[in-house]
Every structure is written in C-alpha cells, then in structure tokens.
C-alpha cells in the first residue's frame, strides 16, 4: 500500500496461465452476477440492458478518464458535460440490429432511464445515480467488483505492486 492508501495491482501473466480456467470462471461469474443484478433491479431484458449500459458508460466516459476528479461522486453531471452516444454507434458496438436498438431506446426513454439531447444523442438523465442509489445496486456492483479483485488476488492472477511515494 502506498501513502495515499491505494493498492496498485498488476496482472501476473504466468500466474494467470497456471490458473486460467479458475480465473476465467471468476471473471465470467462476476460479469454475469453484475449484469443480472442490473437487469433485475432495472427490470431490463438482456438486450435492453446492454443498450442501457452502453449509454450509461458513454454518459460518464470522459469524466472517468479525466484526471481532475470532477464529478466523481453522485452529484449530477450537467447535461452540457454528459457524454452521449448515437443509436448507430450502439448498434455497431453491440452487434444488435439498428431497429432492435431503436426499439430498446424508445422503451428506455419512456421509462426515464435515458434521454435524448440534440439530434440522436443519447445519455442518462442527471441525478440517475441518486435515483438508483436507494435500490442498493451501486453498493452491490462495488461489492461484486471487490469480490472479483479478491478472487484474482487469491489466485495470484493479480499481484500487488509497490508504487513509489
């Protein structure tokens, strides 16, 4: 652990090769648990959940990559700062037919999970994290992720790295 309290890890390629089947089981199981939880909590079918997650990730993508730490809590990202994605890009990224994507987007907009800003630009509405927070979904997603990291550490697929400082 470094002085900031963060632990850095790296992939141990040899460790991964030794326990590849178990590691992939842990990864796939965590992915299934996470997406199943999102589907159940939001009442979405698998295709609709994939469309929704692509939109949700696009909405925060630029802020997740920004080193300045803006919008890291649950305060809403102003619409002017929210990332967007088009139906066409969703279809390309997901492999779903455009009409299927369009149908899911209409449903997501109707349920208030997605909004359209400008022509064909989709994002999540401001305050969605606060709205979803009481369901416990965000907490469960973080716990699933921590469980996966711990499993990969236990299997020695991920190993701690000392960082200077």
Reported confidence tier of residue 68, pLDDT bands at 50, 70, 90: low
Q: Please tell me what DSSP assigns to residue 10.
A: E
pLDDT at 78: 77
Higher per-residue confidence, 144 vs 6: 144
Provide the residue ranges of all domains of the chain, joining segments of one domain with +: 8-161
pLDDT exceeds 70 at position 5 = no
Whether the predicted pLDDT of 162 surpasses 90: no
Residues 27-60: pLDDT tens digits?
Answer: 999 999 999 999 999 999 999 999 999 999 998 8
- Residue 3 scores a pLDDT above 70: no
pLDDT interval class at 69 (50, 70, 90): low
CA–CA–CA angle 25, 28, 32 (5° rounding): 130
The answer for residues whose C-beta is within 8 angstroms of residue 159's C-beta and 6 or more apart is 9, 10, 12, 15, 153
Tell me whether residue 26 is exposed, middle or buried, using C-beta atoms within 10 angstroms of its C-beta: 0 to 12, 13 to 18, 19 or more: buried
| Position with higher pLDDT, 131 vs 141 | 141
CA dihedral 61, 65, 71, 72 (to 10 degrees): 110
Greater confidence (7 vs 69) lies with: 7
Is the separation of the CB atoms in 8 and 160 below 8 Å?
yes
Q: What is the pLDDT of residue 80?
A: 78
Kindly provide the residue ranges of all beta strands, DSSP E only, lying in 20-131, ordered along the sequence. Answer: 115-116, 122-123
Confidence of residue 11 (pLDDT cuts 50, 70, 90): very high
For residue 11, the cross-strand partners are 158
**Residue 60 pLDDT:** 85
Q: Which CATH architecture has domain 8-161?
A: Orthogonal Bundle (1.10)
Mean pLDDT of 144-149: 95
pLDDT, mean over the chain: 89
């Amino acid at each position: 652990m470094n002085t900031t309290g963060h632990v850095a890890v790296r992939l141990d390629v040899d460790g991964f090769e030794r326990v590849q089947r178990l590691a992939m089981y842990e990864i796939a199981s965590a992915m299934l648990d996470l997406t199943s939880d999102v589907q159940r909590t939001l009442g979405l079918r698998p295709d609709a959940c994939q469309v929704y997650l692509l939109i949700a990730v696009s909405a925060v993508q630029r802020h997740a990559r920004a080193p300045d730490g803006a919008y890291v809590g649950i305060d809403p990202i102003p619409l002017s700062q929210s990332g967007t994605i088009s139906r066409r890009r969703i279809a390309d990224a997901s492999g779903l037919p455009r009409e299927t994507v369009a149908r899911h987007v209409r449903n997501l907009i109707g349920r208030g999970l997605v909004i359209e800003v400008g022509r064909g630009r989709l994002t999540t509405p401001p305050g969605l994290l606060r709205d979803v927070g009481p369901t416990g979904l965000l907490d469960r997603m973080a716990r699933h992720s921590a469980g996966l990291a711990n499993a990969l550490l236990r299997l020695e697929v991920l190993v701690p790295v000392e960082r200077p400082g």
